[in-house]
């Protein structure tokens, strides 16, 4: 022993018990990657103080559990009695009062009793509250009366599915649907309905920037991201907490070696290159917790048809009698969102673009060959698709789309082309859309089997820039030379007569619509008629 002490100058026996080692780590640590969401939590607490009951609804991994914990911690810091219930018991044997009192006393709030629970100054935060839908006494005897009171316990319900106004869609008599007004409802994104809260489950841009900084600064796996890449990820995920973490995780996995050995900074091209290989992208997402948000690839026909309908139409009405729809929103594959203050009109949408792309990749296309006999050329397919445009869709106000985001007016042509294209092909051909729309700066739609690509423009926006990508040394030239792109077409959709565009090699159509979208005619780059004017159906 003395030999080792003389040579190494260290002790040859372990330190005495109870004496902390200089290398010991703290047993309990705050999560350094968790965004505190200070303003969101403060506003949620304010709404809860004013309204007594708040319903927070979102799909899996949308940040409900984390927000519930942050709210509980907020009340603890401000010495307000609160109880976080992580899930409601399934057995149904205990009275709701027994459950609430037991959980309160476990937290040290012994002042709560069966006789005074309706008047206690305490906050009950119930996560996974959809598990309580079977407990009608909880909803009808405790939650419902509290909605209209000005004192007593406050209740914050975090739910994964159900009615936007009350939770379950299949309650017996005494349904809570209609109990919870718009001012008491927090959703994935901030609603456009008047009096809706100004907060949501998804990160706002400041919160997104904060969490990106935290994730990318991880000393174990740092991720240098340029500003455009951050913008791209925000557009891709819409600030969905689970999606943000998943995308950062797969970028770290793919580019770890290049970051470590070559010192690269990840940019938009790195992300787009990764997403181009969609099979690999979803395999990587399978390594993250976000994958549980997606439907299985072998869903039944009724469910698959609902998902395809949302894929083609951006949203579909919530049909409570349709089994496929019920399966989709109960599992969080779709989110149900009201369009009016009393939730008379509710639509189902994809929570994120990642959900949409998953359905597009795995639930469309078939082993059947592309119908060349019906569409021998890209022009014949494009004409048929344009003839299938709906004037009602083109003329309607902006629609709610993926991530509960209002689709911009300039996206109406792309949305309608995609809907009509999928309808024409019957979801049997593999159609690939871009991950973030025009921010990809790529072809809008690729039809894989014939290797055709179609780019949609509105009113000639950046016409020269887009056409140049297909000619000379343009961006798509390598695709054309390698055979990945066999044919292409740029379609400029507009309501005004265009100027001629004369650049050799350009494959350009001008789809000139009537101002009321009742008809359309198709011109070439020289403004020569390709297809005579035809009427559009409603």
**Domain definitions of the chain by residue range:** 38-186, 205-293, 364-535
* Mean pLDDT, rounded, for 169-196: 73
Distance CA 254, CA 257 (A): 8
Q: Helices 412-425 and 301-313: crossing angle, nearest 10°?
A: 150
Q: What is the radius of gyration, based on Cα positions, of the chain? A: 28
Where does the pLDDT of residue 169 fall: very low under 50, low under 70, confident under 90, or very high at 90 and above? very low
For residues 400 and 318, what is the distance between their CA atoms, to the nearest angstrom? 13
How many Cα neighbours within 13 Å face the side chain of 125? 25
**22 pLDDT exceeds 60?**
no
Q: pLDDT exceeding 70 applies to what percent of the chain?
A: 90
Residue 92 has pLDDT above 80, yes or no: no
Structure tokens at 16: 């005495």
Is the per-residue pLDDT at 172 higher than 50?
no
- What average pLDDT is seen over the chain? 88
pLDDT average, residue stretch 424-435? 90
Neighbour-count burial of 114, counting CB atoms closer than 10 A to its CB (0-12 exposed, 13-18 middle, 19+ buried): exposed
State how far the Cα of 116 lies from the Cα of 100, in Å rounded to an integer: 12
pLDDT for residue 14 is more than 50: no
Sign for the CA dihedral angle at 410, 412, 413, 418 comes to: positive
Count of Cβ atoms closer than 10 Å to residue 259 Cβ: 18
Please give the share of the chain, as a percent, with pLDDT higher than 90.
Answer: 68
Which residues are registered as beta bridge partners of 512?
494, 521
Q: Residues with Cβ < 8 Å from 36, sequence gap 6 or more?
A: 70, 210
Question: Which alpha helices (DSSP H) does 372-489 contain, by range?
Answer: 378-387, 391-395, 412-425, 463-468, 477-482
Q: What is the 3-state secondary structure (H, E, C) of 269-331?
A: HHHHHHHHCHHHHHHHHCCCHHHHHCCCCCCCHHHHHHHHHHHHHCCEECCCCCHHHHHHHHC
Report which secondary-structure segment, H or E, holds 431: strand 431-433
Helix axes 241-262, 205-216, angle to 10 degrees: 40
Q: What is the mean pLDDT of residues 427-456?
A: 84
**pLDDT band at residue 28 under the 50/70/90 scheme:** low
Mean pLDDT over residues 269-288, rounded?
93
- pLDDT value, residue 424: 96
In Å, the largest CA–CA distance within the chain is 101
Backbone angles phi, psi at 155, to 5 degrees: -130, 120
- Three-state secondary structure of 193-260: CCCCCCCCCCCCHHHHHHHHHHHHCCCCCCCCECHHHHHHHHHHHCCCHHHHHHHHHHHHHHHHHHHH
**Coil, helix or strand at residue 532:** strand
pLDDT score, position 7: 35
* CA 314 to each of CA 152, 186, 309: distance values in angstroms, whole numbers, following the listed order: 42, 21, 8
pLDDT at 510 (0 to 100):
97
User: CA–CA separation, 373 vs 502, rounded Å?
Assistant: 32
Classify 6 as helix, strand or coil.
Answer: helix
42-73: pLDDT as tens digits = 999 999 999 999 999 998 899 999 999 999 99
pLDDT-based confidence at residue 390 (cuts at 50, 70, 90): very high
Specify the residue for token string 């780019």: 455
Contact 44, 186 (CB under 8 A): yes
Q: Are 156 and 126 in contact (CB under 8 A)?
A: yes
Please tell me which residue, 42 or 180, carries the higher pLDDT value: 42
Q: Point out the least confidently predicted range of 20-29, 156-165, 198-207, 409-418.
A: 20-29
Among the four given CATH numbers 3.40.1620.10, 3.40.50.300, 3.30.70.380, 1.20.1730.10, the one describing domain 38-186 = 3.40.50.300
Three-class DSSP category at 335: strand
pLDDT in the model for residue 13: 44
The CA distance from 371 to 155, in Å, is 57
Task: Decide if pLDDT at 173 tops 60.
Answer: no
Distance CA 279, CA 360 (A): 12
Distance, first Cα to last Cα, the chain: 93
More confident residue, 98 or 292: 98
When mean pLDDT is compared over 185-194, 249-258, 431-440, the highest value belongs to: 249-258
Q: What is the mean predicted confidence (pLDDT) over 333-337?
A: 90
pLDDT above 60 for 444: yes
Which pLDDT value is given to residue 473?
Answer: 86
pLDDT band at 24 (very low <50, low <70, confident <90, very high): low
Whole-prediction pTM: 0.86
∠522-528-529 over CA atoms, to 5°?
40
Q: Cα–Cα–Cα angle for 208, 210, 213, nearest 5°?
A: 105
Comparing 72-81, 290-299, 390-399, the range with the smallest average pLDDT is: 390-399
CA angle 80, 85, 86 (to 5 degrees): 130
Give 266's DSSP letter. Answer: B
- pLDDT at 19 (0 to 100): 44
Q: Are 160 and 29 in contact (CB under 8 A)?
A: no
**How many angstroms separate the CA atoms of 173 and 140, rounded?**
10
């Amino acid at each position: 022993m003395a030999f080792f002490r003389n040579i190494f100058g260290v002790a040859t026996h372990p330190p005495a018990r109870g004496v902390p080692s200089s290398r010991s780590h703290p047993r309990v640590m705050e999560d350094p990657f968790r965004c505190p969401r200070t303003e969101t939590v403060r506003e949620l607490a304010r709404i809860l103080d004013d309204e007594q009951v708040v319903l927070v609804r979102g799909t899996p991994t949308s940040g409900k559990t984390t927000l519930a914990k942050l709210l509980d911690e907020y009340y603890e810091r401000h010495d307000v009695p609160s109880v976080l219930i992580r899930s409601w018991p399934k057995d149904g044997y205990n009275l709701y009062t027994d459950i609430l009192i037991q959980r309160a006393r476990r937290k040290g709030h012994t002042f709560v009793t069966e006789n005074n629970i309706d008047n206690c100054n305490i906050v009950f935060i119930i996560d996974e509250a959809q598990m309580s839908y079977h407990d009608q006494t909880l909803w009808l005897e405790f939650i419902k009366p509290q909605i209209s009171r000005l004192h007593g316990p406050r209740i914050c319900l975090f739910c994964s599915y159900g009615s936007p106004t009350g939770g379950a869609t299949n309650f017996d008599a005494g349904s809570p649907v209609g109990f919870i007004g718009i001012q008491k409802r927090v959703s994935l994104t901030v609603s456009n309905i008047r009096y809706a809260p100004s907060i949501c489950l998804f990160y706002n841009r400041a919160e997104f920037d904060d969490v990106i900084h935290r994730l990318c600064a991880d000393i174990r796996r740092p991720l240098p991201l340029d500003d455009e890449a951050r913008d791209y990820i925000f557009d891709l995920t819409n600030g969905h907490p689970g999606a943000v973490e998943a995308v950062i995780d797969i970028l770290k996995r793919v580019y770890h070696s290049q970051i470590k050995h070559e010192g690269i900074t990840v940019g938009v091209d790195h992300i787009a290159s990764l997403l181009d290989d969609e099979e690999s992208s979803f395999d990587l997402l399978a390594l993250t917790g976000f994958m549980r948000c997606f439907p299985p690839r072998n869903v039944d026909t009724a469910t698959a048809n609902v998902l395809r309908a949302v894929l083609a139409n951006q949203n579909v009405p919530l049909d409570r009698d349709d089994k496929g729809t019920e399966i989709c929103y109960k599992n969080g594959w779709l989110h149900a969102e009201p369009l009016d203050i009393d939730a008379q009109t509710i639509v189902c949408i994809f929570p994120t673009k990642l959900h949409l792309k998953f359905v597009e990749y795995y639930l469309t296309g078939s082993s059947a060959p592309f119908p060349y006999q019906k569409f021998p050329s890209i022009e014949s397919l494009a004409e048929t698709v344009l003839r299938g445009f709906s004037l009602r869709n083109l003329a309607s106000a902006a629609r709610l789309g993926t991530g509960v985001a209002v689709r911009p007016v300039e996206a109406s042509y792309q949305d309608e082309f995609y809907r009509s294209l999928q309808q024409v092909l019957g979801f049997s051909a593999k159609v690939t859309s871009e991950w973030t729309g025009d921010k990809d700066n790529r072809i809008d739609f690729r039809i894989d089997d014939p290797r055709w690509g179609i780019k949609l423009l509105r009113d000639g926006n950046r016409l020269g820039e887009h056409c140049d990508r297909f000619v000379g040394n343009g961006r798509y030239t390598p695709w054309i030379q390698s055979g990945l792109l066999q044919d292409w077409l740029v379609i400029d959709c507009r309501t005004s007569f265009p100027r001629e565009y004369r650049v050799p090699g350009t494959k350009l159509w001008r789809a000139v619509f009537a101002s009321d979208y009742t008809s359309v005619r198709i011109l070439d780059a020289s403004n020569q008629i390709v297809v005579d004017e035809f009427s559009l159906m409603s």
